[in-house]
Structure 1
Amino acid sequence: MGPIICAMLRLSLVIQLSLFFYTVHAQKADSVERSTDSVSILDSLPSNPLASARNFLEQWREQVDRYYTGLDSVKRGVAWQRPDDGRLVPSQVQQYISLVKPAVHDLQGKVTVLRKQTVPQDSTANSWRAVQDSAATLERDIESLLLDMQDLGDKAEQQQNVTQAAQEGTFWYHWKSIIQKNLEQDGLSQRYYDSAWDGRFLLILLSLIYFYWLYQMRRRAIGAEETLPLHRNQPWWIPVLKFAIFFLILLPLTSLRIPVIVLELSYLLIFGFLYLLIRSELSNQHLKMMQYVFFYYLLVLASNLVLDTGWMLRIIVMLINLSGICLLWHLGRKVDGKIPFDYLRPFSRWLLLIISMAAIIFNLFGFLNLARTCSIAGAVGLLQAFSLHAFRDMLSHDLLNSYENSKEDRFINRFDKQKILAALRRIIGLFAGILVIIIWANTLHITSEIRRLGDRLLNNTHTIGGVNYTYGDVVLAFAVIWTANWIQKNLKDLLDQPDAKKNQRRTALLPLVRVVIFIVGFLIGIRILGLGVDKLTVIVGALSVGIGLGLQNIINNFVSGVILVFERPFKVGDYVELADKKGQVMQVGIRSSTLLTDQGAQVIIPNGDLLSGRLVNWTFEESDIRLNLQLTIVTARSIEEWKKWLEDTITSFKEIDRSLPMKILTKDITADAYVVSIQVGLQNVQQIEWFRSKFLEQVKAEAVFHDSKVTSA
């Protein structure tokens, strides 16, 4: 019955694909794509439909690339448009779009039909899913192409309206057309708010979490009758401003295509919010600098909003750009590194200077579209440089405040403050780099080019042997393995609690869990690269001989560590003895364990020796931590007085565990000395060295005071 059903499914698939390719072949070919559709696609269908589908996808991909090449050529013509081309270029754009757009819609229908085909449940199922994934990617590229054509057509239409208004001679209608044309170039009619809402909802959720964190910090600080260190006497609206800044700074991450007008208004609000946030902490010089930058930004936006072919406006815009160059040159002199509004890094400053000078040159030679693009990009880039620096400092201050206002048992106190700050700065730097690329790509109107370049770099398939991979897969696999390695390294900090006894119970299987996390992350990374488990098994089998011969001691210690984790013949804090080594267990690792001897030395012992050797555990049934000391006292003072003094001195230490009985006994005597044995419980194994040092120092001082001699062992 099974083979009959499989045969029927294959026959049904062939019939469906035959109808699909017949439909594609029967559609009327457009003049732009005749060269591609002239090849008959039905010839190879009966023998191998999967190969035919792949062949068509390759042809359609080449066709989309040709459409993009033509569109890039038209965009360059628009960008390098001069004032005397005001009538010719828009008409050429409209002619190109009317010719190509129907063909693109036709191609989109073909790709959609292929993407919706039923996947057969046989050995070719995975291959067909890969074909459908490629078709879905191609469909998204076609949608992006249509959006670019729509945007370009709207700009050409507004340019024609400006030319027509100039001919009619109506003053207000002419200026209205100019403003509409410039707003259209900034993406006023771009369909931004109809898409990417999933990313915006996630960003809103993250912003609300950040706001709640600030609110909790402020409430704890007020409850403790303190103020937050960053802003003295914070009013209630400070967290609201930070919430808005957090949301607006990260907003470009939700979509690759963002209208320039949205970026202009976003950074206008961000800069204003930052001014309100830290103005009380700035000097008059810094306040004036912020005001100059803000005024320059407003002038750039206003002048480029009404920029036209008239020389008067062009000269005004060039003077504003020249003032921006002077401002950037002044910002190259570092005044106070703690304030993010008085200094630009050399790379950022020189890049903005080049962009501003390019705006003046393009304006002077009549390339107004390029001049306007560079002018706005320079102004937005200036505010972005300041805002990202202030954003990094804001989050760093908030993290420090969280450390200062949190109790000792809070989760955040398990991590080292400086390491967390360094990690936060690296993460913010990574996201800042991504934001710079996204914002500059949108302000320079090269989003499609950047996206296609990234797609070619990350998604083109490469082959090594029989393994197919992409650079995107390599980056993702590296990120997964790095994340797994970071988690297993910091797992102890994530699980530790201030109570040492709870840590002993909670982290009993910690070494094995760390290994499992890394192995799982490594296998996921290998799978992302397209290397199947069967191929990995072959590689492991080939290396097993070398591993067995060259790394047998390491493998022995590793397996012994796993056995120790499950059998638990000792645990952290136990007092054990192995051959001539005696001490307390400080750490149980997956390859080796660490003992702290009575002399204060830390001894690393391979787990293989611990498992195979004769091990004595003096505290096997107890979870307590005890320190054993031996003092030889030569004195004329009564031994009972010494014991009383030793008991009082040990009790004065806060590190001791008072729930455990203290033992101070006379072990041996000689002709002129007493040998006293001391056993005391401690709260944490890490406190042994410190307690031993301070205690022996006090014993020595007491012996000198009473003219006695004391030696320890």
Structure 2
Amino acid sequence: MLAPLHALAQDAAKTTPGAPPPLAPAVTQDAAHRVEQAYLKLGRISGAVRRGVDTEELAEELPEVEANLKTIRQNLTQYSSVINLKQVHLFQILLTDMQAQLGTWRTALATQGQQLTRMQGQLDSLGRYAITKQPDTTTALGRTTARLQRKQRRANLLIQRNQRTVTQLQTRVSDCYIQALELQDETREQLRRFNRRTLDPSNPPLWRAAAVDANRQAAAGQLVRESYTSQRRLLGYYFSENWYFGIWMVLLGAVFFAWVFRNFRVVNAATNAAKQPFRYLRPLPLAGTLVVVFSMAPFFDLNPPAAYTDLLELLLLLTLSVMLGRSWPRRQFLYWLSIVGLFFGLTFVYAANEPSPGLRWAMLLLNLIAIAVGIGFRRELQRGPRLAAFVPPVLVLFMLLNGLAVLCNLTGRLSLAKVCSSSGILGLTQIISLSAFVRLLTEAFHLQMQRSRLAGGVAAHFNFRKIEQGLRLGLSIVVCGLWLMTFTSNLNIFRPLYGVLDHLLSTPHHMGTFTFTVGNIVAFFSIVYLSVLLQRYVGYFFGETDDEFNSDPDRRGSWLVAIRLVLLAAGFLLATMASGLPLDKITIVLGALGVGVGLGLQNIINNLVSGIILIFERPFQVGDFIEVTGKTGRVKDIGIRASKLISLSGSEIIVPNGDLLSGHVINWTLSNNHIRVELGLKLGPDTDLDRAKEVISQEIQENPNTLHKVAPEILLSGINGQVYDLKVLFWINNIRQEQALKSEILAGIHRRFTQEGISLT
């Protein structure tokens, strides 16, 4: 486009009949240069307009948000008498999400509007290039200028059109944002009404209950149907905005299934894993995988739609019933089926917005049956195979809530009765499912242990029983916390409790010039506890074992103690940083305490420093056979303050590190495990000593556990009357087999002497 501009001066110099006189060459060249600059600037503006204003996606999604706001307003105004608490919570969550999205759109549209205003100013500034309003089209310069003007007008129209689009979208987005704020206020007001309605006796006592008007009941049922019909759009919007929850659920199920299925296949190839004590796991863990997925699904979102939670609960009950049917004793499983039946029965009778007296009596009967089932189930758990320790307390809570629901139903507080009864049955089914979830994970870990033992290596030396106990304890704490969150959400007290807890932990307290919070203190002690727990178990990940009867334990360096010290120091540092305490003040306090610690805890500090010296000096290692202060044993552990020895009789000897560093330590296995053994023999007077020595030497040399490169020494130590006293000295490979080898060689010498006719006295 700009190529002909370099020849405009020459073309303009040519005259035609009737044309005005030609411009001076310098003037023409200057005009061509200005036109060229204008073309470049206009091209940049046009490209920026096309690239910068992209509102198609926003324009497509905004109508859906407007329709959702209309649906929420319709439910809060027209159907306010039939919506329940979970639906109002759903409205609140959706409004919060829509407010965040609308806020993002407002910011984007404001930025685009500013860009268009800036581009418009740049377009208006092209007038400084002195483009004539009516260029002479008979010349090349004039024709180029005319094309430039047309392009400028098109760019101007494009900017104006985009400005109108952005302005219209800004108006609609602002209107939706204001509607969302108003509806948030309305949902908060609805929640306050629900709280007041729950505690107030909104219905007459059960013995005075009157029949519900059929027309009124039909009208209420019609409102319920219309409300659910209008909420289908909201459910679709919820699932479209939270689709990644499904991805996480599928990924969790796939990982668990592949993990268990592969481990079963490997273990079954070597042993028979089916005979192992797996209560819930199967070689094809379909039911177990579904239980794991459906047990964890509610915790991906604590405020899902009621239809979504009902569907998850239904799927969980079905898959859990399949798994428990082949795992629990018959009587326990019958109680479980009774609990499932109560769940469906209570769900059905609570579906009525204005229940008739008959349904209220049915609620009362179901609550009484629930109490009876809870009592029987608790007794059965005491007799038969027990569940996790956290199930019986929830079972007692289930009975108490059903008893409270009976009282509320009798006194007319029907809303509170529904809350108590539904929370009780949901809490019980969820805690049983979480108990199965913990058992499934521990069994899967046990299966992984078996595979690790088959694979050998460091994992084969793990103390899996202790690790499994820690895993079960940790999982139990986690699932109890998760259950408590969902249980309080069902009771509609999660938010108040969370607010109280947040206020308790985050409120600053002042002590002089020092400011702290309870949350900082909790974080400090929690991190210190975790670091202590981690250093206690870290040895198991480096091959440490508690098997005291291993004949040849691995020798591990004292660097394991260094790792423990590093973990403790790092944990204390992280705890200090998390507590918010200034490091300079801590240094001053530690310096002040150092004098008192040095004076009052001299022995402890001495042992601690001695332990650190032992780490780097390494006079012995874990697994060495040492003798100190008259005590002999194998080193089990080198601790920070003291070390542990295992004596030959199996007792554990705790020796302070200060004694190990300052006392005389005999290390029998510092460089090797060899030890010289001494045997005493008494031979008769008619014994051929040379032949006897040859037989003894052969027996020692043929034993594979003796040191063959050093010949045994057989010495005549004395002649006592008619008896020859022989002293036999030889080396063995392993000090831990000293007594067993002495017995074995003595038995072999006696057998050979008997064959040779040599008598022992």
**TM-score category, normalised to shorter length:** 0.5 to 0.7
2:326 corresponds, among 280, 295, 307, to 280
Matches of 2:394 and 2:647, distance apart in 1:
56
2:594 corresponds, among 502, 520, 544, to 544
Q: Secondary structure at the match of 2:713?
A: strand
Closer, same or farther: CA 359–482 of 1 in aligned 2, 3 Å: same
The residue identity in structure 2 corresponding to 1:294 is V
Closer, same or farther: CA 250–613 of 1 in aligned 2, 3 Å: same
Is 1:449 the counterpart of 2:496? The answer is: yes
Shift of 1:431: 2.1
Shift of 1:597: 8.3
Residue in 1 that maps onto 2:683: 635
Is 1:675 the counterpart of 2:721? The answer is: no
Shift of 1:394: 2.8
Shift of 1:510: 1.6
Closer, same or farther: CA 411–144 of 1 in aligned 2, 3 Å: farther
Is 1:248 the counterpart of 2:285? The answer is: no
The residue identity in structure 2 corresponding to 1:490 is Y
TM-align CA RMSD:
5.1
Matches of 2:481 and 2:287, distance apart in 1:
23
Please list, as runs of the form range in 1=range in 2, the aligned pairs for 1:38-437 lying within 5 A after superposition: 150=187, 153=190, 169=215, 174-178=220-224, 208-224=254-270, 226-228=272-274, 229=276, 238-259=284-305, 261-334=307-380, 339=385, 347-407=393-453, 409=456, 412-437=459-484
Residue in 1 that maps onto 2:209: none
Q: How big is each residue's C-alpha offset from its partner over 1:624-663, in whole Å with a ceiling of 9 and x where there is no partner? A: 3224322222234723333433455x53xxxx6x999576
Structure 1 stretch 216-225 or stretch 296-305: which is displaced more? 216-225
Closer, same or farther: CA 610–392 of 1 in aligned 2, 3 Å: closer
Structure 1 stretch 279-288 or stretch 319-328: which is displaced more? 279-288
Matches of 1:301 and 1:284, distance apart in 2:
26
Shift of 1:452: 0.8
1:472 corresponds, among 489, 504, 519, to 519
Greater radius of gyration (CA): 2
Residue in 2 that maps onto 1:459: 506
The residue identity in structure 2 corresponding to 1:328 is G
Assess if the C-alpha contact under 8 Å between 1:576 and 1:585 holds in 2: yes
The residue identity in structure 1 corresponding to 2:561 is P
The residue identity in structure 1 corresponding to 2:730 is I
Matches of 2:640 and 2:387, distance apart in 1:
51
Matches of 2:628 and 2:362, distance apart in 1:
86
Assess if the C-alpha contact under 8 Å between 1:362 and 1:371 holds in 2: yes
Matches of 1:696 and 1:523, distance apart in 2:
54
Q: Secondary structure at the match of 2:285?
A: helix
Matches of 1:603 and 1:285, distance apart in 2:
51
Structure 1 stretch 443-452 or stretch 566-575: which is displaced more? 566-575
Closer, same or farther: CA 584–276 of 1 in aligned 2, 3 Å: closer
Residue in 2 that maps onto 1:645: 699
Closer, same or farther: CA 702–578 of 1 in aligned 2, 3 Å: same
Q: Secondary structure at the match of 1:332?
A: helix
The residue identity in structure 2 corresponding to 1:419 is K
Residue in 2 that maps onto 1:515: 565
Shift of 1:255: 4.3
Matches of 2:306 and 2:659, distance apart in 1:
67
Assess if the C-alpha contact under 8 Å between 2:281 and 2:440 holds in 1: no
Closer, same or farther: CA 169–587 of 1 in aligned 2, 3 Å: closer
Closer, same or farther: CA 429–287 of 1 in aligned 2, 3 Å: closer
Can you give the 5+ residue segments of structure 1 that lack an aligned partner in the other structure? 1-85, 114-142, 158-165, 683-687
Assess if the C-alpha contact under 8 Å between 1:579 and 1:614 holds in 2: yes
TM-score under structure 1 length normalisation: 0.65
Matches of 2:642 and 2:389, distance apart in 1:
51
Matches of 1:461 and 1:701, distance apart in 2:
79
Identity %: 25
Closer, same or farther: CA 344–206 of 1 in aligned 2, 3 Å: closer
Closer, same or farther: CA 500–445 of 1 in aligned 2, 3 Å: same
Shift of 1:383: 1.3
Shift of 1:484: 0.9
Structure 1 stretch 365-374 or stretch 628-637: which is displaced more? 628-637
Q: Secondary structure at the match of 1:212?
A: helix
| Count of aligned pairs | 561
Residue in 1 that maps onto 2:17: none
